Amino acid sequence: MLEILWYALSFVVTLGILVAFHEFGHFWVARRCGVKVLTFSIGFGRPVWQRKAKDGTVYQVSIIPLGGYVRMLDERVDDVPDALKGVSFNAQSVYKRFAIVAAGPIANFVLAVAVLWLMFGVGVPTVKPVVGEVEPDSIAEEAGIQKGSEILYIDDVETYDWQQVQLGLMSAIGNEQTTITLRTTDQEEVTRVLNIENWQFDPETESTFGSLGISVYQPEVYTVLARVEADSPAALAGLKEGDDVLAIDGQRIDDWRSLQQRIAESPGALLDVLVLRDGEKTTVPVKIGERDTENGVIGYLGVAPKTDALPEGYVYNHQYGVFSGLLKGAEKTWELMVVSVKMIGKLLTGDVSVKNLAGPLSIAEGAGVSASNGFVYFLSFLALLSVNLGIINLLPLPVLDGGHLMFYCIEWLKGKPVSERVQDICYRIGGMLVFALMALAISNDIIRFAF
C-alpha cells in the first residue's frame, strides 16, 4: 500500500513539474506578445487552490493532475469589448500566435537541459558498460564481441554507461545493422557490426543488450567466505573467514549462486556444511536463520563471498563543471529528442510494437522507482519525460500544439486562416486519434500490471 502511495505521489510531482513548465512557456510568451491571460491552471476540473492577481489573471491548481492549460482572451470564445480586442489571442499576427503555441514544447526542452545540467553538476554514480558473458550463437557472438570489452559508441551515441547503451540500441531498432565501437582488454579500439535484421526484442522481459546476448560485467564470485557477520547463524555455528564451502548436506556447491539458493530455501533448518579450512575438509553443523521478505520467509547465513577486484575506473562519478555540464545537458537532450522522433517513426512503420506505448501507470511506476533510487536518477527520468512531452506535443494533430502550428504554417503560406469548418473537422479527427492512443497506452498498462 505504501509503495502505491509513493508511486502516486511521485507521479503527481513529476507531472506537476512537467505541466507547470510547459504551460509557463505558453504563458510567458503570451504575456510578452501582449496577450491578456485569463487563467493559468495546473490540472483540470474543479480548482483546489485559486488566486486572482492584480492584472486579472487567475492562477489555480485543479483536482485532476493530468495536464493543465493557459486560457487567453479570444474573440472566438469570449465576448471581448472593443477596448480589449487588441490584447486577444486571435487578434495577434500569425508569427506571435506561432511563438505562443511553440513556447510550450520548447519550455519542456529547456527544462530537460536544465535538469540534466543539474544532474551532471551533482554527478551520476556510473558503471562503465563493460561486457560480461557473451551468449553462444547470439547476435553479439556472431559479431565478434568479446568478454571484458568496454562499449564506447553505438553508431553515433556515446555510451558512457549502460543507460546510454540502451538508448543507442533503442535508436537502432528496425535497422538492418548497427555498429558498436569497443575498447578491448588490450586497450585497442575496434568496431563490430551487428546484424540486427532479425533481432527480436521484448521490453517486458529483457534489456536491449541482453536480447543481443550481452550481459553486464560482474567480478568473479567464489565460494570462499570473505566476511562472517558477528552474531550471525554462520558465526554462531563456527564458520570462519577463508572457509571454502564445498557441499551442503552432501549436495556439492559449485558456485555462490547455488549456495545462496540452498540457504534461502532452508529457513530454520539444521544443515551440515562441508568446508575446506587450512587445507583440510571440515563439516560444520549450521542452524540456518530466518528472514521475512515480501515473498515470504527465507533462510540466511550472514556471510559474504570473496570476489575479484573490479577493473580500475569501472565505477566512477560521472560529473562535469558548470559550463561543460551545460553543454553536456544540451547534448544529452538532443540525443533524447532524436531517439524519441525515431521511435515515433518506427511505431508508425511497425518496426516497434505498439505494446511499447506506456500509460500513466507505467509512468507512475517509473517516477516512483527513479525517486526511490536517488535524486540524480529522478532527474534523469524527469528529463526523459520532459523531452517526450515536448516531442509528442509537436505532432501535427489538431488537438496538440503541433496541430495548431500546422494551421499557422498553412495560414502563413496561403495568407489567410484555415476555415473554422475545416479546423473543426480536423479537431474531431485529431481528438479521436489522441483518445485511441491514450486508450491503447492505458490498456497496455492494465495488461502489464494485471498479468
**In this predicted model, what pLDDT tens digit does every residue of 316-368 receive, in sequence order?**
888 899 999 999 999 999 988 988 888 888 777 766 666 666 656 566 666 66
Same domain, 182 and 295: no
Q: Are residues 333 and 343 in the same domain?
A: yes
Can you give the residue range of the structural domain that contains 178?
125-216+309-318
The residue out of 239, 269, 301 marking a domain boundary is: 301
Same domain, 340 and 370: yes
Same-domain status, 166 and 261: no
CATH for 187: 2.30.42.10
In angstroms, the CA 158 to CA 181 distance is: 9
Which position among 3, 23, 189, 312 bears the catalytic label? Answer: 23
Per-residue pLDDT for 306 more than 60? Answer: yes
Q: Do 226 and 291 belong together in one domain?
A: yes
170 and 151 in a common domain: yes
Cell of 149: 570489452
Q: For the segment 113-126, what is each residue's pLDDT rounded down to a tens digit?
A: 999 999 999 988 88
Cα distance between residue 434 and residue 395, in whole Å? 11
pTM of the model: 0.79
- CA dist 150 and 132 (Å) reads 10
Give the separation between CA 179 and CA 193, rounded to whole angstroms. Answer: 5
Does residue 441 share a domain with residue 339? Answer: yes
Q: Note if 141 is an active site residue.
A: no
CA atoms within 13 A on the CB side of 232: 16
Do 107 and 250 share a domain, yes or no? no
The continuous run of DSSP H or E covering 392 comes out as helix 375-393
Last residue of a domain, one of 246, 267, 301: 301
Q: 403 or 294, which is more confident?
A: 403
Q: How many domains does the chain have?
A: 4
* Residue 249 Cα distances to 234, 275, 284, angstroms: 15, 11, 10
391 and 425 share one domain: yes
On whether the CB atoms of residues 397 and 430 are closer than 8 A, the answer is yes
If asked whether residues 98 and 119 sit together in one domain, one would say: yes
Pair (132, 25) in one structural domain:
no
The per-residue pLDDT for range 58-108, each reduced to its tens digit, is 999 998 887 889 999 988 888 888 888 889 998 899 999 999 999 999 999
Whether residues 71 and 12 share a domain: the answer is no
* Mean pLDDT computed over every residue of the chain: 86
How many of the other CB atoms lie within 10 Å of CB of 120? 23
Helices (H), 309-359: 322-349
Residue 9's identity, in one-letter code, is L
Residue with cell 494485471: 450
Report residue 212: phi and psi, to 5°.
-90, -5
Strands 189-195 and 177-183, bridge-based pairing: antiparallel
Query: Pick from 85, 112, 145: which residue ends a domain?
Result: 85
